[in-house]
Structure 1
Amino acid sequence: MYLPIMKNRSEELRVISNMNQFFGDSMIPLIEIIKDEYDIKYKKDEETGEYIYEKKPGNKRRNRITLPPTEDDVITLEKIQERLNGKKGFIDFFRFSEEEYDNKDFKGIELSFMLSRDYTYYKKRLLQLGNFSNLCPVISIKKGFKISEHDLKNLLNELKERNPSIAIRITDSYLEDYMEFIEENLLEEDFIMLDIRNQHVDSKFIELEEFQELETNATKIVLNSPRPKDYKNGDYENLEFTKKIDNKVAIKYKDYELEGFGDFGGLKDDLPTEAGGNGTGAALGLLYVKEKNAFYSIVNYDTSEGMRGFEYVRSEVLKRLDFLDSDNDCVAVERIKGMDQTFGNWATWSNLTLTRYIHQQAKK
């Protein structure tokens, strides 16, 4: 089983919509909810019920007045269910500690900020998953977010009343603390996910052996974030398989007799930031090749070209179709071929990296 881990940012949500045909029992996305989506509502005249319009300075046309969103307008889970198109998804209402990520402005992740500071609200949002039969709740335990066994038992029982299965995601440093609880409370239909974060899988052999020996009928999965957060695009090699992303977890999980693994599909485990760039930067393409279990790296080191540098990345992809798309069926390569006057931006190529990775894992 493979779990592509994605935050509910626009490009990752787009990947879910476009790639849901590959999801099933052997591939289930793990979606980290960092922000809410809202049903947009507009101001109406109380007497006539008609929309009220306004014309802002500099605009020629009048527009309807948008009402501020409320808790009742949240449609986050409905939209995710729609994108999954009937397929199953794990839902992790994402909490984080301030030292966990470099992003400090918290813009665009106000929901995560609230979830991280209010356990009652976190529990409330998890319990909402009982309204969605194909969305499996994930209880996350990590540094700064331990849950007492008493509270965990209560939460587990409440979730099990309305959900056919639940998952516990736990970082390796806390596995020993909860082993007895897991063995006593998780059932065959449940999932236990050991998250080793960005640590190399070989460095966690003791924890993985403990995980292997865990006496539970729940499905065991190891999660990893093999792409380092501190490497910039220009740090990657050009026209070779990068050594900076060691994807060994995709193979090693079998050595520990685990049922599956999860990772970020070639993306970094980071949070969005409002720190805007100046239009410059190295254009990078990372295309996973399953036979090598490695990412082929293409970099335009001329940072002054910025997004224009992706024209070079595209051209180098097309020169290597013999091994990047030997079966002529890659969804990502098909999109790259279709690029004409514009060659995408950083978000586009992040989408392509994830799309390619999911398609490669779905093959064979």
Structure 2
Amino acid sequence: MKYMPIFRYRASEKKNLETVNYSNKILPLVEIIQEKRKSNMKTTCFEDIIKYLNENDKQLLIDFPMYVKFKKRTVAGVVNFLSPILANPSLRLSYFDKFKGQNIIPVISYNPNVPLYQKGYLSKEFTHLRSSFQQIALRIFLSHAQEALNEAATHLKPGDIIIVDLDNTNHDDPMLVNFHSQIVSYAKKHMCKAVIVRSVISPDIANTKLTNNSIVNKLDNSLLIDYKKFGFDAFGDYCGIKKDELTDGGKSSPGCIFFHWWTNSYYGHKGVFEQPDTFTTMVAPSLVSSNQWIDYQTKSLLQHKDFCPGCKTVFNITKAREKGNSAPKWKIIISSHYLHTMEEFL
């Protein structure tokens, strides 16, 4: 494993997971944040994921995240599913039990947003899950990290995974140098893999502020390179897109942030606010005429455009073979391009 993409299991993320053919250099972390992706769905997220696992020779990390902060517009299904877990973390165990016999790694975690660490829950989860799952992951945050590591010390086994989630904090903050060293040493002591993850694209990045064919300077993707420097075994992020804020509503803001492997940078392309047709008339043409797009067609030994699901879709949109005026569709395009790029070049 070199890369751990994090998917909040909604419609776009499900599509991305199913369309990109990835190898064991990639180990996705799937966050289940509601019982059903849409309220009118006949199947639950549990059933959808189990179906995916049964049909594919893949392994997934599964988490029921406790770090999510609710907002006024947070999707009702998310609030209804996660609120009971926050009130009683032990509910996570019954959900993990649904995956017994499946090729998953359960992710043990805690709520980093409370002032006091809730001791005992991690031990309870380790004890319960160890009988059904040979490999377990521990997800820690900057808040309460030491308490969590202290509690987990007697439960970890060789081959387990320690995930350090920095949220939006930059990994090369000088204040974190000793923290990184501590985590890596701790992981080696317990013969575990250490993975560092962060959300690269911050919530304040808006398509309306993008400049066509220009680097989005606020986005620092250097963790892709630096994780090795700090001693971690792998890195992770939200797969080339913003961490889904899990809210309802919002207006159409055509645009995309396209990842370029050779500069390890993101480039912006935008349309006109509240005119979704400009995804097709402006965003797609701007993207396929860019030097970054051309690089993928000329420098990739595998003909990236022909194998990358996202780029194939963009090409089809420019040829009027597919409709391209949907923001969720472009979310899939950009995320699947990033995931395919990691598979191709890492």
- TM-score, with length taken from structure 2: 0.86
In the aligned structure 1, how far is the partner of 2:132 from the partner of 2:264?
39
In the aligned structure 2, how far is the partner of 1:102 from the partner of 1:298?
29
Q: Answer whether contact 2:59 2:104 (CA < 8 A) is retained.
A: yes
Q: Answer whether contact 2:67 2:110 (CA < 8 A) is retained.
A: no
Letter in 1 for 2:260: V
Percentage of matched positions with identical amino acids: 19
In the aligned structure 1, how far is the partner of 2:86 from the partner of 2:77?
14
Instruction: Identify the match of residue 109 of structure 2 among 120, 127, 140.
Output: 140
Post-superposition offset of 1:170:
0.7
Q: How does 1:333-344 map to 2 (within 5 A)?
A: 333-339=311-317, 340=320, 342-344=323-325
Instruction: Identify the match of residue 48 of structure 2 among 54, 76, 79.
Output: 79
Gaps of 5+ in 1: 41-65
Q: Which residue of 2 aligns with 1:33?
A: 32
Q: Which residue of 2 aligns with 1:56?
A: none
In the aligned structure 2, how far is the partner of 1:17 from the partner of 1:219?
26
Instruction: Identify the match of residue 348 of structure 1 among 329, 339, 343.
Output: 329
Q: Secondary structure at the match of 1:185?
A: coil
Query: 2:81 matched to 1:107?
Result: no
Q: Answer whether contact 1:284 1:310 (CA < 8 A) is retained.
A: no
Instruction: Identify the match of residue 122 of structure 1 among 64, 73, 92.
Output: 92
In the aligned structure 2, how far is the partner of 1:357 from the partner of 1:217?
30
Q: Secondary structure at the match of 1:348?
A: helix
Moved more, 333-342 or 193-202: 333-342
Letter in 2 for 1:31: V
Post-superposition offset of 1:305:
2.5
In the aligned structure 2, how far is the partner of 1:80 from the partner of 1:29?
12
Q: Which residue of 2 aligns with 1:329?
A: 304
Tell me the matched-pair count. Answer: 325
Q: Answer whether contact 1:95 1:112 (CA < 8 A) is retained.
A: yes
Instruction: Identify the match of residue 153 of structure 1 among 123, 126, 135.
Output: 123
Question: Closer, same or farther in 2 for the Cα pair 1:95/1:352, shift >3 Å?
Answer: same
Q: Answer whether contact 1:106 1:113 (CA < 8 A) is retained.
A: no
Question: Closer, same or farther in 2 for the Cα pair 1:357/1:105, shift >3 Å?
Answer: closer
In the aligned structure 1, how far is the partner of 2:19 from the partner of 2:286?
25
In the aligned structure 2, how far is the partner of 1:87 from the partner of 1:157?
25
Question: Closer, same or farther in 2 for the Cα pair 1:319/1:105, shift >3 Å?
Answer: closer
**Residues 100-149 of structure 1: CA deviation (Å, up to 9, x unaligned):** 354544323121233222323223213333x2421111112242467644
Q: Which residue of 1 aligns with 2:18?
A: 17
What is the root-mean-square deviation in Å for CA atoms of aligned residues? 2.5
Q: Which residue of 2 aligns with 1:171?
A: 141
In the aligned structure 1, how far is the partner of 2:132 from the partner of 2:231?
30
**Residues 170-208 of structure 1: CA deviation (Å, up to 9, x unaligned):** 102222223333333211221110111101111132321
Q: Which residue of 2 aligns with 1:297?
A: 268
Q: Which residue of 1 aligns with 2:60?
A: 89
Q: Answer whether contact 2:93 2:129 (CA < 8 A) is retained.
A: no
Query: 2:214 matched to 1:222?
Result: no
Question: Closer, same or farther in 2 for the Cα pair 1:33/1:211, shift >3 Å?
Answer: same
Query: 2:231 matched to 1:248?
Result: no
Q: Answer whether contact 2:288 2:294 (CA < 8 A) is retained.
A: no
Letter in 1 for 2:109: S
Q: How does 1:161-310 map to 2 (within 5 A)?
A: 161-203=131-173, 204-214=176-186, 215-277=189-251, 280-281=252-253, 283-300=254-271, 302-310=272-280
In the aligned structure 1, how far is the partner of 2:223 from the partner of 2:62?
22
In the aligned structure 2, how far is the partner of 1:30 from the partner of 1:152?
19
**Residues 207-229 of structure 1: CA deviation (Å, up to 9, x unaligned):** 21221221321110011001111
Q: Answer whether contact 2:105 2:133 (CA < 8 A) is retained.
A: yes
In the aligned structure 1, how far is the partner of 2:110 from the partner of 2:280?
39
In the aligned structure 1, how far is the partner of 2:202 from the partner of 2:74?
21
In the aligned structure 1, how far is the partner of 2:120 from the partner of 2:324?
53
The higher radius of gyration belongs to 1
Q: Secondary structure at the match of 2:12?
A: helix
Gaps of 5+ in 2: none
- TM-score, with length taken from structure 1: 0.82
In the aligned structure 1, how far is the partner of 2:101 from the partner of 2:15?
20
Q: Secondary structure at the match of 1:193?
A: strand
In the aligned structure 2, how far is the partner of 1:361 from the partner of 1:122?
31
Moved more, 261-270 or 326-335: 326-335
